[in-house]
Amino acid sequence: MDKIRIIGGNTLSGRIRVKGAKNAVLPLMAASLLTEEEVILHDVPNLSDIRTMTKVLEHLGAQVSFEGDTLRIKANNINCFEAPYELVSKMRASFWVLGPLVARFHQARVSLPGGCAIGTRPVDRHLYAMEQLGIKIDIEGGYVLASGKPQGNKIYFQIKTVGGTMNALMASVLANGTTEIINAAAEPEVTDLAKCLVKMGANIDGIGTSHLIINGVEKLHGVSHTVIPDRIEAATYAIAAGITGGQLYIENARLDLIENIAFSLNLMGLNISQKNDCLFVKASSNRLKATDIATEEFPGFPTDVQAQIMALMCLAEGTSTVTENIFENRFMHVQELVRMGADIRLQGSRTAIIKGVDQLSGAQVMASDLRASAALVLAGLAAKGETIVNRIYHLDRGYDHMEEKLRSCGANIERIKEKIDE
C-alpha cells in the first residue's frame, strides 16, 4: 500500500492545473448508458474512482476507452443490467447507473452500497424518486431490483441529495410525460450533468436551480462534452498556498464555483482573485486568522472542503469552529490532526472547535477517506519535520497526481510505493 512522505516547511510557489471534476465525470459516465451513440468526455482526471466506474460500465457491456484525458463510452451493446456488489461497495457512485438503466432498458439490478467511512449514507431518497416515477422496486439479497418504464411525476426531495437528484434526472429524461424535481440539489456537478443531457437531446428547464422540469423525449444521442473544473481540487490547492504562506496560480479554476470557500479563506487572510482561467492565491504575510464555517448544500460551504480548511484552522490565530451538517461522521481526520499537534475538541458529533497552534509537527498518520487524506497532506506541508500519510489509496480516488503537482511548486513530497502493508 502506497504512502506519502512529506518534509514540511517549504513555501509553495508556481502553477497547478486542476482537471475536470471527479464528481461530474462519474454521473456523466452513468449517463452514457442513456444512448447507443458514443459519449466523449474531455478533461477527465486519471483516478481510481473513474476506473471503478469504467469497470461497472464494462460489466454492463459498454465499450470504454481512456486516452490522454479523453474518455469514450459506447453503450450500444448492453447485455446485462446488473451493478455487482464488488463494485458498488467499493464506490457508492456506481449506484447511479440505476436511473439510466431503468430509463433506457426499464430494468436494473443494482447492489445496495452499504455504509462508508463518512456515515451510513442510505439510498432511500434515490428509491423514493424511482417509485415516484412508477418504477417497481424490490430489495432482494442486498440488491435493488427495479422494473418498469418511468412515467413523469413530481419528485419532492424533503432533504437535498446530490446523487438522488442525478439518479432522478437520468431516470426521467426518457420518461413518458413531464417530471418535476422539487428541492433538487443545485451543485455545479448536477448542473453539468443536466447541461450535458440537454446536449444529448434531453428537454430540461430550471437548470442550475432547485426546481428541475423534465419533459421526457423518445431518444438521446451521442455527445462530446468538456467536464467542469474540479472546484474541490481547486480549493484544496488554494489551501495549500495558504498553509505554506505561499502563492499559486491554479489553472482551469473558477471563482464562481468556490465563492463561499474563497470568502472564508479571505477572512483567514488569503487573497484569491480570478485571472483569465486561473485563480491567483496569495497568503498574506500576517498569521492566518480563525474563522467559523458550517457545511451546507451548494452554494453553501461544501462538506468536501471541510477537512482541508480544518487543517488551515489548526495554524490560525484564535479559535475556529467547524459544523458538519451533511454527513454524521465526517471528523475522522480530527484525531490524526491532533497527532500532529493540533488542538481540536469535538463538541457532540457535528461540531469541532479548533484552537490555533503556532506549529504542527510531522507524524505518522492514517487517511480514513478522500478529503481527510488531503487534509493530512496539507497539514504535512506546513508541519515541522517528516509526515507519513498511510493508506493513500483514498487520495488516489479523487486527486490526479497530487504529489507531483505539489512537488512542482516546491513541496518536499514523495510517494513511497510498498507492496505489502497492514
> Which residue lies nearer to ligand EPZ by CB, 62 or 395?
395
From the centroid of its chain, how far is CA 384?
30
Q: Which residues does the annotation mark as catalytic?
A: 116
Q: How many residues bind ligand EPZ (CB under 6 A)?
A: 23
* Sheet strands side by side (includes 247-251): 13-17, 247-251, 278-283, 270-275
Question: What element of type H or E holds 353?
Answer: strand 351-355
What angle (nearest 5°) sits at the alpha carbon of residue 61, between those of residues 127 and 90? 55
The footprint of ligand EPZ on residues 116-145 (CB under 6 A) is 119, 121-126
Q: Does 398 bind ligand EPZ (CB under 6 A)?
A: yes
- Which residue, 4 or 235, is less far from ligand EPZ as judged by CB? 235
Cβ-proximal residues to 275 (8 Å cutoff; 6+ apart), any chain:
249
Q: Which residue in this structure is represented by grid cell 443536466? A: 194
Interatomic CA distance for residues 364 and 256, integer angstroms: 36
Q: Where does 245-337 show beta strands of DSSP type E?
A: 247-251, 270-275, 278-283, 292-294, 319-323
Per-residue CA distances from 152 to 134, 186, 199, 215 (Å): 8, 20, 21, 8
CB of 326 to ligand EPZ, least distance (A): 5
Least distance from ligand EPZ to the Cβ atom of residue 396, Å: 13
Tell me which of 35, 303, 308, 390 binds ligand EPZ, using CB under 6 A.
Answer: 303
Q: How far apart are CA 45 and CA 184, in angstroms?
A: 27
Of the candidates 285, 281, 323, the residue with the CA atom closest to the CA atom of residue 15:
281
Q: How far is the CB of 355 from ligand EPZ (least distance, A)?
A: 26
Determine the residue with CB nearest ligand EPZ.
163
- Name the residue nearer to ligand EPZ (CB basis): 93 or 220: 93
**Going residue by residue from 144 to 183, which x/- string records binding to ligand EPZ, judged by CB under 6 A?**
-----------------xxxx-------------------
Smallest distance, ligand EPZ to C-beta of residue 59, A: 18
Give the x-and-dash track for 72-101 against ligand EPZ (CB under 6 A). --------------------xx--------
Site string for ligand EPZ, 251-290 (x = CB under 6 A): ----------------------------------------
The residue from 43, 82, 304, 324 that contacts ligand EPZ (CB under 6 A) is: 304
Map residue 185 onto helix, strand or coil. Answer: coil
Distance in Å, CB of 304 to ligand EPZ, minimum? 4
Q: Which of 4, 16, 26, 322 binds ligand EPZ (CB under 6 A)?
A: 26
If DSSP codes are grouped into helix, strand and coil, which group holds residue 419?
A: coil
**394 counts as binding ligand EPZ under rule CB under 6 A:** no
Q: Is 377 in the site for ligand EPZ (CB under 6 A)?
A: no
Task: Give backbone dihedrals phi and psi of 167, rounded to 5 degrees, phi first.
Answer: -60, -40
DSSP-assigned letters across all residues of 129-169? HHHHTT-EEEEETTEEEEES--B--EEE-SS--HHHHHHHH
Q: Please report, as residue ranges, which positions from 312 to 371 form the binding site for ligand EPZ (by CB under 6 A).
A: 326-327, 370-371
Residue 113 or 362 having the CB closest to ligand EPZ: 113
Instruction: Give the separation between CA 359 and CA 342, rounded to whole angstroms.
Output: 8
Identify which of residues 43 and 304 has a Cβ nearer to ligand EPZ in the complex: 304
C-alpha cell of 43? 478533461
- Kindly identify the residues of this chain, within the stretch 180-239, that bind ligand EPZ according to CB under 6 A: 185
Q: Which residues bind ligand EPZ (CB under 6 A)?
A: 23, 26, 92-93, 119, 121-126, 161-164, 185, 303-304, 326-327, 370-371, 398
